[in-house]
């Protein structure tokens, strides 16, 4: 297991990141795209070695899970190369001087998004590739032109070390500056780096307590910095009676598969299922859940945390265990489906509304539309909210939508939240405690915006302007000029 990074080495890494910031920021989008594509190629070439390490340390199956996750990781690196080639991410805007401007004579003003500086990324445990060393936060920060200091997760240290070596070597070989990327180990080193004035932004994927503690550090620094934390989410699913009548059995089976996928260790796991009273799906749900075998969890700490959370949930008045499978042995756990009523859910407080990270989910029955809206009104916000309905439900669903938009960053219609594709329109975020920055996303091309800050240039001679703002637009970027695209 990798040891904690020595203080002297951490200092060298932070100094190198700060020294590389100017060079990284000055690199053209095309150059950065070359870095990212080279990194993706190197990771693909090392796939067999990396997947074997990931399987050994996380207990996740090599096929199809880890193979697919590594493919996703290299895909998003290359996709950010397309973002760089497109160029619109810079938000280049030119307002020429205008003596007749209605607000009075307007000076020449030009606005551009620029790299924020060295970024500290806290890797996640549950996605050892896609949300770890070379994951989305790293990819989007590098695309923005920011050096990255990656704090490795203790759940897969050897994989983190080796992935970091492959990534850094590929980046530097492709022309990136020496301090563009480094991996550090040790919880205290993560805190030390977060407090360091050379770090200009940070990102995190993990638990609510851990993320909140780091967020408080980031915002209480003498010079506070943006902290993009993804914390907890219960991801409610609302099912209408019409949908049950049309395809109730299919919904029940798909729900069981979704909340147990990856041993329930997805941040988008549907943790709450709102069903109408008298839904009649009990037997189908019991059968679907009981057929799911026990699965190993990521590590002993997460397995113990799940067991504790499940015990607390099971003890809540009005909550009953509807179905179980597989039992528990070591770090392996079977699936557990619980059920309660709207009255009990509203009366209990926090326990029934909090994320239980693992293969468990809670059914809550509602009497009518008003009661459903009341249930949604007491929920903590999260990453997703799902509706299983029919086209004929449109008028019934419309009054419910404001409650769902309040609690989620992504709404799904007749789908399941445990798939988060990497694309241009994706939104993986939401109000606290889903994230600490509800105006941003950590998945998709818009994730690059987290690591850019705007600068306006007023009255500057053309020769001193950044290339994207120069009059002849040498990079041929999309721009808004005098209010027109």
Instruction: Name the residue ranges covered by the structural domains of the chain.
Output: 7-231+435-472, 236-413
**Angstrom distance (rounded) from CA 10 to CA 14:** 6
Mean pLDDT of 133-158: 98
Q: Which residues contact 326 (CB under 8 A, 6 or more apart)?
A: 292, 293, 294, 295, 332, 333, 334, 335
* Domain boundaries 7-231+435-472, corresponding CATH code: 3.40.605.10
pLDDT over threshold 60, residue 353: yes
Which of left, alpha, beta for 110 (phi over 0: left; psi -120 to 50: alpha)? beta
* Residues with catalytic function: 230, 267
Architecture of domain 236-413: 3-Layer(aba) Sandwich (3.40)
pLDDT over threshold 80, residue 1: no
The pLDDT of residue 182 is: 98
The pLDDT of residue 327 is: 79
Q: In what order do the strands lie in the sheet with 295-296?
A: 295-296, 332-333, 328-329
Mean pLDDT of 135-150: 98
338, 302, 225, 441: CA torsion to nearest 10: -50
User: For residue range 203-233, what is the model confidence (pLDDT) as tens digits?
Assistant: 999 999 999 999 999 999 999 999 999 998 9
pLDDT over threshold 70, residue 261: yes
The pLDDT of residue 350 is: 84
How would residue 485 be classed by pLDDT, with cut points 50, 70 and 90? confident
pTM of the model: 0.95
How would residue 328 be classed by pLDDT, with cut points 50, 70 and 90? confident
C-alpha closest to that of 39 among 177, 181, 145, 166: 166
Which of left, alpha, beta for 23 (phi over 0: left; psi -120 to 50: alpha)? alpha
Q: In what order do the strands lie in the sheet with 93-95?
A: 452-458, 109-115, 93-95, 480-481
User: For residue range 378-396, what is the model confidence (pLDDT) as tens digits?
Assistant: 999 999 999 999 999 999 9
The pLDDT of residue 371 is: 97
Q: What is the DSSP-derived secondary structure letter of residue 81?
A: H
**Angstrom distance (rounded) from CA 357 to CA 206:** 11
How would residue 438 be classed by pLDDT, with cut points 50, 70 and 90? very high
The pLDDT of residue 26 is: 95
User: For residue range 441-484, what is the model confidence (pLDDT) as tens digits?
Assistant: 999 999 999 999 999 999 999 999 999 999 999 999 999 999 99
Burial of residue 147 (number of CB atoms within 10 Å: 0-12, 13-18, 19+): buried
How would residue 160 be classed by pLDDT, with cut points 50, 70 and 90? very high
Lowest-confidence segment of 198-207, 348-357, 424-433 by average pLDDT: 348-357
User: For residue range 41-66, what is the model confidence (pLDDT) as tens digits?
Assistant: 999 999 999 999 999 999 999 999 99
What percentage of the chain carries pLDDT values higher than 70? 100
């Amino acid at each position: 297991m990798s040891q904690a990074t020595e203080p002297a080495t951490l200092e060298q890494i932070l100094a190198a990141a700060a020294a590389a910031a100017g060079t990284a920021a000055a690199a053209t989008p095309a150059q950065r795209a070359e870095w990212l594509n080279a990194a993706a190629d190197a990771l693909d070439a090392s796939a067999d070695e990396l997947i074997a390490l990931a399987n050994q340390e996380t207990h996740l199956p090599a096929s199809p899970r880890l193979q697919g996750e590594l493919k996703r990781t290299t895909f998003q690196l290359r996709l950010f190369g397309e973002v760089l080639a497109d160029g619109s991410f810079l938000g280049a805007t030119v307002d020429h001087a205008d003596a007749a401007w209605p607000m009075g004579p307007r000076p020449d003003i030009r606005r551009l998004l620029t790299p924020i500086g060295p970024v500290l990324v806290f890797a996640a445990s549950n996605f050892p590739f896609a949300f770890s060393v070379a994951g989305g936060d790293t990819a989007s920060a590098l695309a923005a032109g920011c050096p990255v200091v990656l704090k490795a997760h203790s759940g897969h240290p050897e994989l983190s070390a080796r992935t970091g070596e492959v990534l850094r070597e590929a980046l530097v070989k492709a022309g990136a500056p020496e301090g563009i990327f480094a991996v550090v180990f040790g919880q205290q080193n993560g805190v030390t780096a977060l407090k360091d004035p050379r770090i200009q932004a940070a990102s995190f994927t993990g638990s609510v307590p851990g993320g909140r503690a780091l967020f408080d550090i980031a915002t209480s620094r003498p010079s506070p910095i943006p902290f993009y934390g993804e914390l907890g989410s219960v991801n409610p699913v609302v099912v209408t009676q019409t949908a049950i009548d049309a395809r109730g059995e299919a919904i029940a089976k798909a729900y069981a598969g979704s909340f147990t996928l990856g041993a329930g260790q997805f941040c988008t796991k549907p943790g709450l299922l709102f069903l109408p009273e008298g839904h009649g799906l009990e037997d189908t749900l019991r059968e679907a859940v009981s057929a799911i075998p026990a699965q190993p969890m990521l590590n002993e700490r997460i397995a113990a945390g799940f067991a504790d959370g499940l015990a607390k949930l099971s003890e809540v008045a009005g909550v009953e265990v509807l179905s179980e499978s597989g039992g528990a042995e070591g770090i392996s756990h079977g699936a557990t489906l619980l059920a309660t009523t709207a009255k009990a859910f509203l009366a209990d407080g926090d326990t029934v509304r909090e994320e239980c990270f693992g293969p468990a989910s809670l059914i809550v029955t509602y009497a009518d539309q008003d009661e459903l809206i009341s249930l949604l009104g007491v929920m903590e916000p999260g990453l997703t909210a799902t509706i299983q309905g029919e086209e004929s439900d449109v008028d019934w669903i419309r009054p419910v939508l404001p409650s769902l938009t309040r609690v989620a960053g992504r709404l799904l219609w007749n789908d399941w939240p445990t798939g988060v594709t990497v694309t241009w329109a994706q939104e993986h975020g939401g109000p606290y405690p889903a994230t600490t920055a509800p105006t941003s996303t950590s998945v998709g091309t818009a994730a690059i915006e987290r690591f850019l800050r705007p600068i306006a240039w007023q009255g500057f001679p053309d020769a001193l302007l950044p290339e994207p703002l120069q009059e002849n637009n040498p990079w041929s970027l999309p721009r808004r000029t005098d209010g027109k695209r």
